Amino acid sequence: MTHEAPGAASLPEQGSLALAPELSVIAPVLNEAGNVAALVARLVPVLSRCVRSFEIVFIDDGSTDTTLEVLRTLNHSDPRVRCVSFSRNFGKEIAIAAGLDHARGAAVVIIDADLQHQPEAIETFVNYWRQGYKNVYGQRIDRASDTPMRRWLTQNFYGMFSAFGETPLPEGAGDFRLLDRQAVDALRSMGERARFSKGLYAWIGYKSIGVPIQIDDRVHGFSKFSYRKLTRFALDGLMSFSTLPLMVWTYVGIATAVLALFAAFYFILETMTRGVDVPGFASLIVSVMFFSGVQLISLGVLGEYIGRIFAEVKRRPLYLVAENIGDARAKEQATDKLDV
Ligand code: UDP
Ligand code: MG
């Protein structure tokens, strides 16, 4: 494949193809006023070097600081910088989905706005893309920039995912990556609400390759992911890519029933040989409590899945766009704000 806008003919809702740049960079932002200008300043020279034309699309995920104003100014001075602003915070995963919807490029790069991902790596990504790779992902060499607690949790999560998940995840792969238009369209065709992007990137397949990358420390501000958010994210990931937690209860049930049969057999024998023996209150209480616990856990797992099914069947739009800065099509979209 050459770099002559692969898949350009299939660009969706593009209006005039002349509008479509060769590369779109999308960056989800939540309160990153201190970082966005620096990111643009580092992106522009890299992109000017390696592609013919580009756009940088920020997805403002309900920022409450001056991020939006800074982005407006950036758009004024360089119309290649655009911004889609959400009506509230929808979360990074959904912001990425919106970025993929609004990107027009023949390839799309997803990058964090806090300069933890080095924009210079994009040059390598683009080189692989030109060699025909459709999914070029940055692979973390180490996790030194994470806290030890987060590293430990991450390790456990990936251990569980590879044991239970139905889609193998490449090691150390994150959101920083380049996707060919074909891969972008594949991701856009997946309408699910619980978006565990890392799983989705792996699920779509296509010719993929990992590029080792160094994750820098955050330049300004702090991580937006609390442990609570990360737990939710981990559960979403496991549950959208595995039905094992749902199925395992059949086996737990069978095992306990078999155990109960053995116990019944033992008690019958004991009664026959030694006569009726009333004591046993403690063991009774313990087993009642234990099995009530097991039942509640299994109900809880059912609840987790049902909650997700409920969220999916409501078919609410994935996100709502409040403002579209620098988009020539913004007028059309202002009348169609349910920008699914
Ligand atoms: N982010 C977002 N919405 C959120 C949380 C984060 O758009 O609800 C953005 C954030 O502004 C940053 C990127 O996602 O550009 C990565 O977030 P962060 O640096 O907080 O995560 P970490 O690097 O700790 O994984
Ligand atoms: Mg970060």
Buried b (16+ CB within 10 A) or exposed e, 138-156: bbbeeeeeeeeeeeebbee
293-335 pLDDT, tens digit per residue, is: 788 888 888 888 888 888 888 888 889 998 888 876 544 444 3
How far is residue 149's CA from residue 143's CA, in Å, rounded to a whole number? Answer: 11
Across the chain, how many H-helices and E-strands are there? 11, 8
**Does the predicted model carry a pTM greater than 0.85?**
no
Instruction: Write the single-letter amino acid at 102.
Output: H
CA of 64 to the centre of ligand 2 (A): 18
pLDDT for residue 63 is more than 70 = yes
% of the chain residues with pLDDT over 70? 89
**Given the CA of residue 146, which atom of ligand 1 is nearest to it?**
24
Q: Which ligand is closest to the CA of 112, given by its number?
A: 1
Whether the pLDDT of residue 233 is over 70: the answer is yes
For ligand 1, whether the C-beta of 94 sits within 6 Å is: no
**How confident is the model at residue 8, as a pLDDT?**
41
Looking from the CA of 115 toward its CB, the CA atoms found within 13 Å total 18
Contacts of residue 244, Cβ cutoff 8 Å, sequence gap at least 6: 164
Q: Whole-angstrom Cα distance, residue 47 to residue 43?
A: 6
Residue type, 49: R
Q: How far is residue 309's CA from residue 233's CA, in Å, rounded to a whole number? A: 16
Residue-wise pLDDT for 138-161, tens only, equals 988 777 767 788 788 888 888 887
207: Cβ contacts below 8 Å, ≥ 6 apart:
132, 133, 134, 135
Q: Is ligand 1 within 6 A of the CB of residue 223?
A: yes
241-290, pLDDT tens digit by residue?
777 787 788 888 888 888 888 888 888 888 888 877 677 777 787 788 78
